[in-house]
Structure 1
Amino acid sequence: MITRDLDAFVAFARAVQPNFGPATAHAAFLVAPDGFRLAEQSAQDNAYMADAAAFDAQRASMQHRNLQRAISQVLPTVCFAGDPATPDAVFPNNVFGTASGTYIVGRMRHEVRQREATRGDIRAFFRDVAGLAEIDLSAQPHTCELTGALVIDRARGLGFCGLSERCDEEGARLMHEAFGLRATLLFDLAPGEYHANVVLAVLAGRAAVVCPNGFADPAVAAAIADLYAPHAVVCDGAEHAAFVGNCIALSADTVWMSDRAGAALSPAHRKLLADAGFRVETVALDAIEAAGGSLRCCIGEVY
């Protein structure tokens, strides 16, 4: 099922058992912020990006290394070298994704990001080292920026796809098929939003973080929160702006977000996550966040 029909999706989702696959990844991959700078093409539709003067390449590199060191305590994490010709490559989950037995290459909107999909070393890693079959969506014309646009409940095989300039309906269909999902809900992001994973996270299949201001239709945000109630964090404007929605569960008991997001997370919402069985881990990423993404955007998952 792939649909815009909210009632039909919710009815289907409530009947689905959490037996689709592992709820969290068994490894992660990163791409170093080598040549970290403002990507002017990406800034056209990413309102979270800072001005060029705010970019600090040395600090970004240090923080990114600290991120790898931190999450390596939870799961094996490899980091590929960056490339000064691809300044957005620090957010690899938009370009490369994995599902059971396969790796997927997405179609990026901007040419500067399309270059990332040609990385032979990353493709060879998934193909020759991880032994995964390839599904290459990068050459077809429909934009589909993988797990930036598509938030996945891996335990249930459910997708939540936010449509914007970074993903159209046909691109969503291609991702739904590539990831082999049981059902995907299509919805429009609010004007000014570019990726669903900035305003929504599903945590190990049993909790959700939702930023209602990021949805064109507030009823969609409310329905998703209700689907994961009582373990649904509904973010206020300050939490939304601080990237609380751009978090990720990397194990059954940890949720990771940036220091900035952790500082904005209200005590009540921190307790809600604790009640769901998660401790909140944070890493300083303010330099990386100048590029318009946060911790979840930096992490590619290997399933």
Structure 2
Amino acid sequence: MITRDPEAFFARARQCPLDFGPAVPRAAFLVAPDRFRRADESAQDNRYMAPADAFDGARAQAEHRALHLRMAGALPTVCFPGHDDTPDAVFPNNVFATVPGHAIVGRMHHPVRRREAARADIRGFLYDILGYRERDLSQQPHACELTGSLVVDRARGLGYCGLSARCDAEGARLMHDAFGLRATLVFDLAPGEYHTNVVLAVLAGRAALVCAGGFAAPRIAEAIAAFYAPHALMLTSAQQAAFAANAIALTPGTVWMSAGAAASLGPEARADLDRAGFDLEAVALDALEAAGGSLRCCIAEIY
């Protein structure tokens, strides 16, 4: 099922057991900010991106290295080098994703990001080393920026796809099929929002972080929160701006976000995560966040 009808979607979702697949990845990969700078094309529709003079390549490198080291203590984590002609490659989750047995390559909206999909080293790692079969969406015309636009509940096989310039309705359908999901809810993001994973996170199928202001129709956000209650945190606009929803569960008992995002959470929000069974892992990423994304955007998951 792929639908814009939340009532129909959640009627189906309530029938989906937690048996679709692993709720968290078995490994991950990153792309280093070796040529870290502002990508003017991407800045056209990413309001979170800082001005060019706010980009600090040396600090971004140090932060990214610290993230890699921290993640490697939790799960196997590979890091690929950056390239001169792909300044946004630090966010590989928009371009590459996996499901058991398959690797998915997305279609990026901006030409500067389409170059990432052609990287022979990452494709070779996924296809030749890990042995995944190919699901390549990069050559068709519809934008579908994978787990930037599509937030996936891996435990139930559910997708939440926000439409913007970065993903149209046909792109949503293509991703629904490529991920093999049981049901996908399609909705419009609020004007000025570019990716769903900045306004929504589903954590190991057990909890959700929801920014109602990021949805064109707040009732969609409220319905998602109701489905994951009592472990659904409704975030404020300030927490959204701090990238608190750009979080990920990398193990069954940990949720990861940037230090700035974690600092935006009050005691009650932290207690809610604790009640849901999560320890909070916070990593300083303020230099990397100048590029308009945060910790979850940096991580391409391997299932």
Using structure 2 for the length normalisation, give the TM-score: 1.00
Residue 260 of structure 1 deviates from its aligned partner by: 0.3
Q: Residue in 2 aligned with 1:225?
A: 225
Q: Residue in 2 aligned with 1:163?
A: 163
CA distance in 2, matches of 1:73, 1:222: 35
Count matched residues: 303
CA distance in 1, matches of 2:287, 2:126: 29
List alignment gaps of at least 5 residues for structure 2: none
Moved over 4 A (4+): none
CA distance in 1, matches of 2:283, 2:150: 24
Residue 14 of structure 1 deviates from its aligned partner by: 1.0
Q: Residue in 2 aligned with 1:261?
A: 261
Residue 95 of structure 1 deviates from its aligned partner by: 0.2
CA distance in 2, matches of 1:244, 1:266: 11
Secondary structure, counterpart of 1:15 in structure 2? coil
Residue 8 of structure 1 deviates from its aligned partner by: 0.2
Q: Residue in 1 aligned with 2:240?
A: 240
Letter in 2 for 1:279: D
Q: Residue in 2 aligned with 1:108?
A: 108
Secondary structure, counterpart of 1:262 in structure 2? helix
Residue 237 of structure 1 deviates from its aligned partner by: 1.3
Q: Percent identity?
A: 66
Q: Residue in 1 aligned with 2:68?
A: 68
Query: Are 2:256 and 1:252 equivalent residues in the alignment?
Result: no
CA distance in 1, matches of 2:269, 2:10: 24
The one-character-per-residue Cα deviations of 1:56-90 (angstroms, maximum 9, x if unpaired) are: 00100110000000111110000001102100000
Residue 266 of structure 1 deviates from its aligned partner by: 1.4
The one-character-per-residue Cα deviations of 1:157-185 (angstroms, maximum 9, x if unpaired) are: 00000000000000000000000000000
Secondary structure, counterpart of 1:159 in structure 2? strand
The one-character-per-residue Cα deviations of 1:103-154 (angstroms, maximum 9, x if unpaired) are: 0000000000000000001000000110000010001000000000000000
CA distance in 2, matches of 1:36, 1:144: 24
Matches within 5 A, 1:127-166: 127-166=127-166
Query: Are 2:82 and 1:93 equivalent residues in the alignment?
Result: no
Residue 209 of structure 1 deviates from its aligned partner by: 0.4
CA distance in 2, matches of 1:27, 1:21: 15
Using structure 1 for the length normalisation, give the TM-score: 1.00
Secondary structure, counterpart of 2:296 in structure 1? helix
CA distance in 2, matches of 1:288, 1:120: 25
Letter in 2 for 1:260: G
Q: Residue in 2 aligned with 1:25?
A: 25
List alignment gaps of at least 5 residues for structure 1: none
The CA RMSD over aligned residues, in Å, is 0.4
Q: Residue in 1 aligned with 2:119?
A: 119
The one-character-per-residue Cα deviations of 1:221-278 (angstroms, maximum 9, x if unpaired) are: 0000000000001001111110000000000100000000010011111100000000
Q: Residue in 2 aligned with 1:35?
A: 35
Secondary structure, counterpart of 2:291 in structure 1? coil
The one-character-per-residue Cα deviations of 1:32-60 (angstroms, maximum 9, x if unpaired) are: 01110000000000000000000000100
Q: Residue in 1 aligned with 2:201?
A: 201
Letter in 1 for 2:262: G
